[in-house]
Amino acid sequence: MYEEFESIIERLEDGDFVMVYDADEREDEVDLVTPSEKITPQKIRTLRRDAGGLICVTVPPETWKKLKMPYLSDLLEECADEHSLLLEMKADDIPYDERSTFSLTVNHRDTFTGITDIDRSLTIQRFAKLGSEIDEHSTEEAQKMFGDEFRSPGHVFLLNATEGLVSEREGHTELTTALLKLTELYPSMTICEMLSDQGDSLDEEQAKEYGKENDIPIIEGKKIKEELKDKDV
């Protein structure tokens, strides 16, 4: 179901779920999303059971720049001299995009395996808390704070939101991060692609039915971009 844009923002401020559809000409996918700051084990359970895709966490540009958090594609390219297989696997043929936003995978150091709903919730909560605290610190201090709390690899997938957000890229990473820029919350969203029982992506009409049954609104990427046009995000 569609709602007024202001209502979508209010729901996010309350920590509720919304759905975001990117575009017909892009991934043509719906993501179930909720603010990272408000994540709980129960919400992780909803994401993996009702959405079913890969649970990821967006990293706003100011955070990944402060931490100098790399894109995974850059790391793989830098390692290719020693590991020639990586040259053969270069992601230069993504049909809907020029570049993947995947960065590091992390677990909080207080987790055990890192994959349980409780563990992933803790990792995401602590990531959002730390992200909101490092603005006043130097990069060296911020990196030390991050390393004190997180290990890599892990089970939470971080996505670097492109600088400039929707003005530069219109993926779910940027669309959802931009939405949270209009709230008082730390602008990191926990997102997960919605899959159908047939094994493909849940289409927009099916997502609307899910929304009606569960009181979760859906918003299209073009609507987000339109609403953000005159806003400083």
Give the active site residue among 22, 37, 56, 220.
56
pLDDT at residue 28, as a whole number: 79
Establish whether 155 is a catalytic residue: yes
Contacts of 136 (CB under 8 A, 6+ apart): none
Q: Which domains does the chain have, with CATH numbers?
A: 5-228 (3.90.870.10)
Establish whether 160 is a catalytic residue: no
Reply yes or no on whether the pLDDT at 3 is more than 80: no
Establish whether 31 is a catalytic residue: yes
Establish whether 107 is a catalytic residue: yes
Give the active site residue among 107, 117, 119, 160.
107
Contacts of 56 (CB under 8 A, 6+ apart): 156, 157, 158, 159, 173, 190, 191, 192
- pTM of the predicted model as reported, rounded to 2 decimal places: 0.95
Which of the four pLDDT bands, split at 50, 70 and 90, describes residue 66? very high
Give the active site residue among 31, 37, 117, 119.
31
Reply yes or no on whether the pLDDT at 27 is more than 80: no
Reply yes or no on whether the pLDDT at 139 is more than 80: yes
Establish whether 210 is a catalytic residue: no
What DSSP character marks residue 25?
Answer: T
Structure confidence by residue, pLDDT tens digits, 157-187: 999 999 999 888 889 999 999 999 999 999 9
- What mean pLDDT is reported for the chain? 94
What CA–CA distance (Å, rounded) separates 32 from 176? 10
Reply yes or no on whether the pLDDT at 2 is more than 70: no
Which of the four pLDDT bands, split at 50, 70 and 90, describes residue 1? low
Which of the four pLDDT bands, split at 50, 70 and 90, describes residue 92? confident
Alpha helices in 14-116 (DSSP H): 41-46, 61-67, 72-79, 85-88
What CA–CA distance (Å, rounded) separates 123 from 220? 29
pLDDT at residue 128, as a whole number: 98
Give the active site residue among 27, 119, 193, 220.
193
Among 151, 152, 128, which residue's Cα sits nearest to residue 63? 128
Establish whether 193 is a catalytic residue: yes
